[in-house]
Amino acid sequence: RLPAGPRPPANPRRPRTTPLEIPAWPTPRPLFRTPLALIDTCDLPPADRAESGDPRSRINRAEADLLAALARRCTADDEEWAVIVPYRAQAALIRNLLKDLPPGTGDIATVDSFQGGERDVILYGFTRSNPSGAVGFLDELRRANVAFTRARRRLILVGDFDTLTRATDEGFRDLARALREHTADVGELLPSRDLEARLGARTA
């Protein structure tokens, strides 16, 4: 099942929604035009976007940098945010990148440790990027879907969809492909360099 998407705050004039009930709810100076965005890192050289570490402590520096930059943008826009990733090592890396932010600015957690209610923005990073399509199993993506539903205004996904859509697990592969196609239809599907250009333009 694809993510159900964010819900807007109470308002008598409810905006039009997509088939997945993701409302087109604007935020001040929005970085994205839609409440669903997918940032694909496959435009980066394989060595730059690849994961590293052992099976229990995967990290992906390219994704961590993008997620940290997005979290800073959310902070500047006064949005409540949470970064959610599958691995503790990746969460620790992102915390280190954002250690200068005031305590309580946002949440950084793994899929299994994330606690609490909704956030204005959920930032999810898949972490895995490798030539073999080793990304995990469908159950892991289904657990991540719980985190997806915590987005009140916007869900932003970051990952190497060249790897994810070639996953060795058939169920994961099919759902990743459907997620990318759905985002292309109703959301924003961006190469990572396009996101970097947007972020740079807004901080210049």
| Residue of 49, 54, 47, 29 lying closest to 39 (CA atoms) | 49
In percent, the amount of the chain with pLDDT more than 70 equals 84
131: left (phi over 0), alpha (psi -120 to 50) or beta: alpha
Has residue 121 got a pLDDT over 50?
yes
Has residue 35 got a pLDDT over 80?
yes
Domain ranges for the chain, please list them.
36-203
Q: Tokens representing 34?
A: 């839609």
Confidence of residue 137 (pLDDT cuts 50, 70, 90): confident
**Separation of alpha carbons 50 and 60, rounded Å:** 6
Please indicate whether residue 18 or residue 71 has the higher confidence score (pLDDT). Answer: 71
Q: What is the pLDDT of residue 185?
A: 96
The whole-number average pLDDT for the span 149-168 is 94
Has residue 152 got a pLDDT over 90?
yes
The whole-number average pLDDT for the span 190-203 is 85
With contact defined as beta carbons under 8 Å apart, do 58 and 52 qualify?
A: yes
Looking up tokens 């961590």, which residue turns up? Answer: 64
Confidence of residue 7 (pLDDT cuts 50, 70, 90): low
| Residue of 64, 73, 22 lying closest to 183 (CA atoms) | 22
Has residue 194 got a pLDDT over 60?
yes
The whole-number average pLDDT for the span 98-112 is 93
Q: Under CATH, which number does the domain 36-203 receive? A: 3.40.50.300
- How many Å from the N-terminal Cα to the C-terminal Cα in the chain? 39
Contacts of residue 143, Cβ cutoff 8 Å, sequence gap at least 6: 111, 112
| Residue of 197, 198, 157 lying closest to 180 (CA atoms) | 157
The whole-number average pLDDT for the span 175-198 is 94
**Separation of alpha carbons 41 and 22, rounded Å:** 24
Please indicate whether residue 55 or residue 148 has the higher confidence score (pLDDT). Answer: 148
What does the pLDDT look like over 39-97, one tens digit per residue? 999 999 999 999 999 877 899 999 999 999 999 999 999 999 999 999 999 999 999 99
- The whole-chain average pLDDT of the chain stands at 85
Q: Element (H or E) spanning 157, and its range?
A: strand 151-159
The CA–CA distances, whole Å, from 132 to 33, 63, 126 equal 34, 19, 15
